[in-house]
């Protein structure tokens, strides 16, 4: 394994970003860094688990999990042994909008690392034994997650917020849907999603632009030119003003709340990001933390978060509290949301939020892997190589008038879709249901922000 390596970096290093264009017309972003003996590469393919057929839930997640389980003429054991012998870290994952590959290697093993990456992307084996082993592992995770309060709250929330939409389905499918996935389904999902026109690439480390371009071109030669994705409609989350209780015999309630939020390319995303930091995104300094934990001791943690997916914008938050304090906690959260919507933040809160958001931005660039992730995400968000140098200025330029207007648009009348798992009391007018089905990815942890 490769030890974690710190790369002294800051937003100012964005001037070092080189945008490369391959002969296939695909762009890759590179930060050439020769002082650190590690090369980090992040690759994303647009599409993700939202591309699961309605009757084949979990196929994309399972396909991604199998990409390093044998490729070309190497079965799973031989493939993994080669990675270990060469100290190459290679992994694949998926979320609602992307399938991703993460590569870390030493410069002397870069050619072989890209050869293995290319084989995994273009010639995965999907051997029967590997398929059954990974299906069994994911099914076991889903069974454990089925009655996990945090997971159950998140899964129920997305089902209620996005009824009839791919975002409303469990990203990893269910035990039942996974059982119906066949090898042909995996091959078809791979063919539809892993293609040149849906790829974005970010790389950091001791590699020249010419060498990286040649390596990427060789990788792309093995991929089809075009993906065949099913259109996913852009929707607004539903259910604001409704409360759902999923009964579970646990001593505290796990609660997820949310309402519509901005898309990443909305003009007022940055002001909304700033005002949400003041409400619940600022950890120990946020209004929700101060009111819910510090003043009243109702919960250990409480947060709110902007989650701009490709096809929906979401304001999303959570709190865990004793069952008998659930109603009081949600009442207080909604009151704070209504107050900030009506009055907006103070000038002192705005100044403090901007100072923190500007000062902490460099922490997103303190390792080579983080930088590679940022390079990939910026491309997914359709930003240019200059965004990193512009981002802090965009935050600093937010005025009190803009942040107050953003608060009104973001928080509106304060109505929330609330999902509580446990035996909560004090949630008037809630619909009560018993737990059922299987789990999705843990959702009590805030999803990664795209506020680059």
pLDDT tens-digit series, residues 48-73: 999 999 999 999 999 999 999 999 99
208-258 pLDDT per residue, tens: 999 999 999 999 999 999 999 999 999 999 999 999 999 999 999 999 999
- Of 156-165, 247-256, 435-444, which gets the smallest average pLDDT? 435-444
Average pLDDT over residues 421-448: 69
How far is 339 from 258, CA to CA, in rounded Å?
A: 16
At 257 the pLDDT is 98
At 36 the pLDDT is 84
3-state SS class at 154 = helix
Which of residues 399 and 451 earns the better pLDDT score?
399
| The dihedral sign for the CA sequence 24, 25, 29, 34 | positive
243-247 and 299-308 strand pairing: unpaired
CATH 3.30.830.10 fits 11-221, yes or no: yes
At 283 the pLDDT is 74
At 400, list the tokens: 């009190």
What is the CA angle 171-175-179, rounded to 5?
A: 105
Please tell me the class of the 243-433 domain: alpha beta
Query: What is the chain's mean pLDDT, rounded?
Result: 93
At 32 the pLDDT is 96
276-307 pLDDT per residue, tens: 999 999 778 899 999 999 999 999 999 999 99
337-380 pLDDT per residue, tens: 999 999 999 999 999 999 999 999 999 999 999 999 999 999 99
Q: Residue 442 pLDDT more than 90?
A: no
Q: What residues does 44 pair with on adjacent strands?
A: 100, 200
At 321, list the tokens: 């509290």
Average pLDDT over residues 141-165: 96
User: Any idea what DSSP says for residue 281?
Assistant: I
Query: What are the sequence ranges of the domains in the chain?
Result: 11-221, 243-433
At 409, list the tokens: 């648009």
Percentage of the chain modeled with pLDDT above 90? 90
27-43 pLDDT per residue, tens: 999 999 998 889 999 99
Fold match flag (11-221 vs 243-433) = yes
At 3 the pLDDT is 35
Tell me which H or E stretch contains 353.
helix 347-360
């Amino acid at each position: 394994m490769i030890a974690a390596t710190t790369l002294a970096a800051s937003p100012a290093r964005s001037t070092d970003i080189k945008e490369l264009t391959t002969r296939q017309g695909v762009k890759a972003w590179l930060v050439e860094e020769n002082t650190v003996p590690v090369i980090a590469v992040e690759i994303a393919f647009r599409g993700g688990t939202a591309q699961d057929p309605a009757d084949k839930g979990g196929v994309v997640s399972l396909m991604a999990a199998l990409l390093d389980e044998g490729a070309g003429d190497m079965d799973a054991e031989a493939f993994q042994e080669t990675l270990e012998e060469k100290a190459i870290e290679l992994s694949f994952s998926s979320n609602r909008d992307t399938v991703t590959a993460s590569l870390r290697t030493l410069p002397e093993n870069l050619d072989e690392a890209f050869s293995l990456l290319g084989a995994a992307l273009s010639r995965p084996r999907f051997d029967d034994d590997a398929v059954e082993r990974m299906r069994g592992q994911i099914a076991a995770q889903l069974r454990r997650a089925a009655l996990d309060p945090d997971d159950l709250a998140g899964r129920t929330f997305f089902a209620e917020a996005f009824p009839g939409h791919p975002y409303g389905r469990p990203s990893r499918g269910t035990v039942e849907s996974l059982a119906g996935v066949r090898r042909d389904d995996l091959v078809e999902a791979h063919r539809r999603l892993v293609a040149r026109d849906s790829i974005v690439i970010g790389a950091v480390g001791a590699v020249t632009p010419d060498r990286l371009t040649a390596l990427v071109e060789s990788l792309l030669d093995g991929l089809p030119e075009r993906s065949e994705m099913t259109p996913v409609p852009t929707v607004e989350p539903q259910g604001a003003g409704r409360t759902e209780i999923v009964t579970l015999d646990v001593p505290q309630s796990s609660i997820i709340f949310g309402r519509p939020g901005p898309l990443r390319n909305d003009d007022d995303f940055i002001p909304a990001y700033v005002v949400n930091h003041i409400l619940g995104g600022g950890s120990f300094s946020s209004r929700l933390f101060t009111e819910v934990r510090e003043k009243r001791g109702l919960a250990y943690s409480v947060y709110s978060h902007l989650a701009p997916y490709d096809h929906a914008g979401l304001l999303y938050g959570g709190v865990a509290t004793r069952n008998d304090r659930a109603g009081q906690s949600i009442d207080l959260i909604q009151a704070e949301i209504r107050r900030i919507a009506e009055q907006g933040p103070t000038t002192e809160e705005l100044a403090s939020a901007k100072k923190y958001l500007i000062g902490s931005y460099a922490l997103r660039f303190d390792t080579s892997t983080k930088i590679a992730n940022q390079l990939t995400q910026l491309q997914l968000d359709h930003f240019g190589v200059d965004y990193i140098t512009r981002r802090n200025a965009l935050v600093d330029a937010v005025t009190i008038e803009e942040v107050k207007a953003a608060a009104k648009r973001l928080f509106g009348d304060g109505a929330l879709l609330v999902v509580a798992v446990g035996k909560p009391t004090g949630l008037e007018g809630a619909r009560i249901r018993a737990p059922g089905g299987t789990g999705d990815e843990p959702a009590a942890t805030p999803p990664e922000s795209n506020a680059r």
